[in-house]
Chains A and B, each alone.
Chain A
Amino acid sequence: MSGDLIDNLPAVIVAIPLLFAFATPLIGKLSVKLSRLWALLGVVVTTALMYILGWEVLSGDAVVKSYVFGAGGDGLPLIGDNPARIAFSVDGMSAFMGLIMATVAFGAVIYSFSFVRKYSGNDKFFTLLLLMLAANFGMVFTGDLFNLFVWFEISSVAVCGLTAFRSNRGEAFEAAAKYLIYSTVAGLVFLFAIGLLYGQYGHLNINYLAGAIGGQEEMMMVDKIALGLMVTVFALKAGAVPIHMATPDAYSEAPAPITAMFVTASQAGLYAVFRVSFTLYGGNLDITGNLIHIAGWVLIILGILSMFVGVTMALVQKDIKRLMAYHAISQTGYMLLGVGVGLTVLGTGKFDEFGRTAMTGGIFHIFNHALYKGLLFLTAGALIYKAGTRDLNRMGGLGRDMKFTAIFFIIGALAISGIPPMNGFSSKLLIYESVFSFNPVIGAIAMLVSLLTLASFVKVFYAAFMGPRAKGMARGEVPTTMLLGMAVLAGMILVFTFAPALVVRTLVDPAVNALAGSTGRTDASLTLLTGQGYWNAIVFGGAMVLAVIITLMVRMLGNKGTTAKGEGKKPYLFGNSTEIDGRPIVIPGSNVYWGFTKALERYYRPVEKFHSGIVNEYVFWFVSTLGVVILAMVVL
C-alpha cells in the first residue's frame, strides 16, 4: 500500500461515500438494479479503506492520522494566530468509531439489497444511506468544531429523509418532523456554543482550542456555559433520557437496515460528548479538572436515567421496533455511565484504580452494542417483513418457519441482556465491577437493568416466535441476502464473544488512551482482567458444554421407556386450565408482564405522560435540561 493513499485516507473515506451517494440517482436512471449494486460497491470500498485506516491507527501507539484540507501537507497554515483550514484528525477513538460504522453499514447494505426491493425509490434510499455513512465518518473524523456542526446537520437531514422513507405511512412523516425539529434546535444551540468559544479564543480547531482553554489562569464563565451546551446537545443526539423523546419515534419508523445504521449515528453523538469533554476540556486538568468532573457526574446521571427509564419503557411496548428502540436508549446509558465514571475520576488516583476499567467497559460496550443492536434491528425487520405488522400482539408462531432468524435473534437477545459468555457480558462485567467500586448503588442499578432487558426480550421471543401461527403471517424464511446481512453481524458477535481481551487490546485500549491521554494496553491473552477479577469466555463456554454433557449423562441413568400418561400429559399452567372451549389459551405479548406493570402503575403513569408525543414539550424538556446542566457547571 502506497504511503500517499494512507496519508489521504481520512479524506478519501468521507469522499467516496459522498461520490457514490450523488452518483446513485444518476445510475438509477439507467437501471434500479444497477444502482443497488453501485451502492453496495460504494459501501464495500469504504469499508475496506476504513479497515486499512483502522489498522494503521490502531496497530501503533498513539498514532494520529491528520489530513488538512487544501494544505501542502505540513500542519495548519495560520492567519494571525488562527489556524485557517479545516483538518481531519483520526486518532484511536475516531478509528474505533469508524470501524464500527463501516461494519454495521456493510451488514445493513447487504440486508437492504432484497429488503427494499418491494418499495419504490430504491436509488434515493441508497443515496441517503451513503450520505448518512459519510456524515457518520465526518462526525468522528473531524478535528474542527464547526465542521462537526456541519456533519451533525448532514447526519440529521439524511436520517430524517430515511425515517420518512415509507411515505405511505403518515407516522413516518410525523417521526421525521419531530426528530428534525428536535435535532435542528439542538444543532443551533451547538452553533451558539461554537460562537461562544470562537468569540473567546478565535479558534475552531479542537486541538488549538484545547490548548487555549487549558492555558488560562482559571476557567471562564464562557467555557463552562459552552461545555454545558455541547454536552447536552450531543447527549440529545445520542438519545439520553430525558432528552431522548424523538429517538424512539425515528428508530421505530425508519426501515430496519436504516435503524441499524441509525444506532451508529447516535453513537457518533456519544463520540462527540466524549470528544468534547475529554479532548477539548481535558488538555490541562489543573485548570479544567473540577469542571470536567462535574461533566462526568452529568454523564453518570444521564446514564442512570437512560438505563432505567429506557428499559422500563421497553417492557410495556407492543411495537417490536419501538421496544428495541427503547432498549437502544437503555444500553446507551451503560456507555454514558462507564465513560462518565472515567471522566469523574480523570486525573485522580482513582482513575488507575477503577476509572480506566470503567471507561474501557463503556467504550467496549459501544462496540458490542453496535453489533448486537444492529443484529436485533435486522431481525425485527425480518419479522416485520414476514408478519406484515409490527404489533407483537398480532405476531405468533414465526419461529416455525424462520429458524435462522430465530437463532440470530437469540444470539442478539442474549448479548444485549449480558448473559455470559456473550460479548455483551464482557463489557457489562467491566462496567459492573468498576462502577461498583465507584458507587455500589449505581452498580446494582446497572445489574437490575440487565435483568429487565432479558425479561423484555423473553417477551419478544415468546410473542413473535412461539405459539401457534397467527393469522396473516407469510410462510417461509426471509430472502438470502437478508439472512446474509444478519449472519455478518451474528458471526462477528460470536467471534468477539470468545476473544474479549483481544478486542480490548486491539480496539478499545487505543480509543481509551486517545481520550484519556493515558498509555499502555492490556496483555495479549484471552483472559480479560476486570480490576477485581478476570473473565475468560472460552473457559466459561467449556464449563457450560461440560455441564450440559453431565446433565445428559445423568438423564441417561434414568429409567428408559417411561412416558407421561393421564393428567401428567397435560401442560401445566399454575394449576389452571390451559384450554378454553377446546382451544389453547394464547396470552398476547403485551399481557406477559401485566402483573409487573400493574404493580409499578404509580411509576408508569407519570413516565408515560412524560412521553406525551407533543413536540413542544420535547423541546421544553431539552431547554430545561440545558438550563440544569449549565447551572450545575457554573455553580458547582
Chain B
Amino acid sequence: MGERLLLRGNEVIAEAAIRAGCECYFAYPITPQAELLEHMAREMPRLERTFVQAESEVAAINMVYGAAAAGVRTMTSSSSPGISLKQEGISYIAGANLPAVIVNVVRGGPGLGNIAPSQCDYFQATKGGGHGDYRLIVLGPSTVPEAGELTMLAFRLADQYRIPVMILADGLLGQMMEPVELPDPIDADSLPDKPWALTGAAGRTPNIVHSFDMDPEGLRQLNRDLQAKYGRITDAETRYETVDTDDADLVIAAYGTIARIAKTVVRMARAEGIKVGLFRPITLWPFPTDALRTISGTAKTILTVEMSAGQMWEDVRLAVAERAETPFYGETGGVVPTPRSILSEVKKHVR
C-alpha cells in the first residue's frame, strides 16, 4: 500500500487498471470519463504499453477483442451512448470466451441525454445489451477507493473465467475526488497462462478464436458451456454488503453512488428511531438474489432507490416476490437524490 492521494474516480479506475497489468487500452473520448482516457494517454506510453484513441467506440471494442484474443489484459472505457455502440463487440467477446474489462461511467439518457450521473444502464449491463445468451460480470463500486479495488478484481475475474467484466460506475463517481491508497501493482509473473491465445502457432496446432458454429448442435454446446460457466460464477463470485439489516423494518436496496448516499440515510433514520438498513449489491450480475431473499424474510419493506426509472428494482422484486413490500423511489435525468429526499420516501413506507 502506498501514500494517500486525492484522486478522481476516473483516474483511480485508470491507474488501477495499469496496476492490474492492463497492456492495451483502446477508447474514444466521451464525457464524463475523459479523465480516464487522458490518464491512460499519459501513462501507458510511458510504461511502453499500448494506448490507442480509436476512431469510435465500435472500433475500440473490436480492438479490445483483438488484443484479448492475443492473450493480453485489455480494457476500454466509455459512457452510456458509447456503451450502446459496443454491444455487438461485447457479445463477440463473451461468445468467444475472452477476458476483457469494460468501464461504463453512466450518464443521463436515453439518447444523447446529458453528462450528469445516472444509473439508467443497469438493464443494458445485466440483461444483455448485446445479442445472444451471454452474461457479463457487472461490478458496482460505491466509492472512489472501491472503484480502484473493483477494477483490480475485474481483471482477475475476467482472466479466471474468460469473460468480459463491466465496471458500472456513474458520472458522479467518475468525477468526484477522494483520498485513495492505490493498490499495489500485480506481479507480472502471477498472470495466468493462456494456452488458447493467439500468439503464433509455433510448435502447436493453430488456435482459432471465434463464436461461430453453423451446426446448431455445435452452437448449442457452446451455449451450454457458457451457461455452465455462468452457474459457476454465480456460485462463487456473488458479492454484496449489508448495513444494519438484522433488525431493520425497512431495507433500502441500492448500489453505486446511491448506496453511499443511502448509508447516510440509514444513520439519519436510526437517529430518529426508524429501523432502517441497507442492502448493497456489489455484483449486479450475478445479482445477490439469495441474500436479498433471506433479508426479505425479516424486513417488511425493501425500498429500491436508483437513479433510473426502476431497473434494479425488477431484480429486487424477483428476489423478494411476496415476502415483503417492494416500493421504488427513483430520479432520472441526472438528478441525484439527496439524503433528505430518500429519508422522506422511507418515512412514507414505515408505520
Q: Do A and B come from one complex?
A: no
B positions within 8 Å CB-CB of A: none
